[in-house]
Amino acid sequence: MGVPEERLHVVPWGINLEEYGIGPIDEPHREELKVENGGKAILYIGQLIPRKGVQDLLEAASMLRDKEFMVILAGQGPWRRYLERRAMEMGLRDRVHF
């Protein structure tokens, strides 16, 4: 079952993805965020509200405990305290940086 084309609306990316692609974390930020050399960071920038799915990101991160990574959440919103509490409950206290 498809959706009629006239009911679809494409919203293009608001940023140039090539300009903000994958790359190394510079040393001052690596130290501040406690990301080891060679470690990975997952960056989310946006509002901390339910419809953005940040809770899903935390769930996914909780499944990757044996991996070396840091989740960086840059943003504000009414769900910040909830997300902070969920990160602690999931055992991600040292891996999630607000």
- The answer on pLDDT for 11 being more than 80 is no
pTM for this predicted structure:
0.68
As a whole number of angstroms, the distance between CA 65 and CA 52 comes to: 23
- The answer on pLDDT for 23 being more than 70 is no
- The answer on pLDDT for 24 being more than 80 is no
Judged by phi (left if over 0) then psi (alpha if -120 to 50, else beta), residue 53 lies in left
- The answer on pLDDT for 13 being more than 70 is no
